[in-house]
């Protein structure tokens, strides 16, 4: 089984309010992006890593890739305007031998290997797998004026994370359809759902946070102690 991972890292990180994109902020002296890539570099089941980035960051990432001996990383791919565009660009260069393609946010460095392996296994079995956690809070749908429209039944609410892993043909087909029909989504599973596939949910961990705001960075420092001692 040949599994590729796409790591979109072309975001600007406006919500962080820092002058540097969030994937380059450091945890214990190492950029978040590199912590993330190392999770896949060290996993034997992953054959190649495709990173999308802004062209202005290519030299910097190239330097880090060789400094940290990230041998599975393929030539960098330029990102697009939205995350979806960045993933679409990466899909064009994934190795044709890939059976499965995983997509994982550059800013989620705390992925447990056990969960990654479970997600790969489930994707191989069911064609599409999404790592997610059960909602701890009750989720409300609000209207434009911030009044509650609807309350979801918490027992069936999951919060989607990454990795999201798919059989290659399925993800390629989903992205083709999205382009054709101008479908916009914030995760890959949504696009796959649009072609009538029902991904399986793989129970993940609350550790697998997406580092988005400055508060997350403090929490991330604490999580890193748990991960690396």
Q: What is the CA radius of gyration of the chain?
A: 17
Please identify, using beta-carbon distances, which residue of 77 and 127 lies nearer to ligand C5P.
Answer: 77
Residues that bind ligand C5P (CB under 6 A): 8-11, 23, 52, 79-83, 86, 105-107
Shortest Cβ 207–ligand C5P spacing (Å): 17
Please, what is the minimum distance in Å from the beta carbon of residue 86 to ligand C5P? 3
DSSP, residue by residue, 85-106:
HHHHHHHTTS-TT-SEEEE--T
Nearer to ligand C5P, 48 or 85 (CB): 85
Nearest in space to 107 (alpha carbons), one of 121, 86, 137: 86
Q: Which residues pair with 31 in a beta bridge?
A: 26
Min separation Cβ 69 and ligand C5P, Å? 22
Q: How far is the CB of 1 from ligand C5P (least distance, A)?
A: 25
Provide the CB-side half-sphere exposure for 34 (13 A, CA). Answer: 20
CB nearer ligand C5P, residue 48 or residue 188: 188
Distances (CA, A) of 117 to 41, 81, 96, 168: 13, 31, 22, 17
Task: Report the residue number, 21 or 127, with the smaller CB distance to ligand C5P.
Answer: 21
């Amino acid at each position: 089984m040949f599994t590729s991972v796409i790591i979109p890292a072309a975001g600007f990180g406006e919500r962080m309010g820092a002058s540097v994109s969030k994937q380059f902020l450091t945890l214990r002296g190492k950029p978040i992006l590199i912590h993330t890539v190392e999770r896949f570099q060290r996993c034997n089941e992953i054959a190649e890593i495709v990173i999308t980035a802004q062209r202005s960051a290519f030299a910097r990432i190239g330097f880090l890739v060789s400094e940290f001996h990230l041998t599975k990383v393929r030539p960098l791919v330029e990102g697009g305007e939205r995350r979806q565009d960045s993933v679409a660009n990466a899909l064009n260069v994934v190795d044709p031998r890939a059976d499965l393609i995983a997509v994982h946010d550059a800013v989620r460095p705390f992925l447990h290997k056990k969960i990654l392996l479970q997600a790969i296994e489930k994707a191989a079995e069911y064609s599409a797998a999404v790592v997610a956690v059960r909602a701890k809070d009750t989720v409300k749908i609000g209207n434009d004026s911030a009044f509650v429209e609807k309350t979801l039944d918490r027992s069936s609410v999951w919060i989607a994370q990454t990795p999201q892993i798919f059989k290659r043909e399925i993800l390629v087909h989903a992205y083709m359809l999205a382009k054709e029909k101008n479908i916009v989504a914030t995760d890959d599973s949504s696009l796959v759902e649009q072609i009538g596939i029902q991904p399986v949910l793989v129970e993940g961990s609350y550790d697998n946070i997406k580092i988005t705001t400055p508060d997350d960075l403090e929490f991330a420092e604490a999580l890193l102690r748990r991960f690396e001692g």
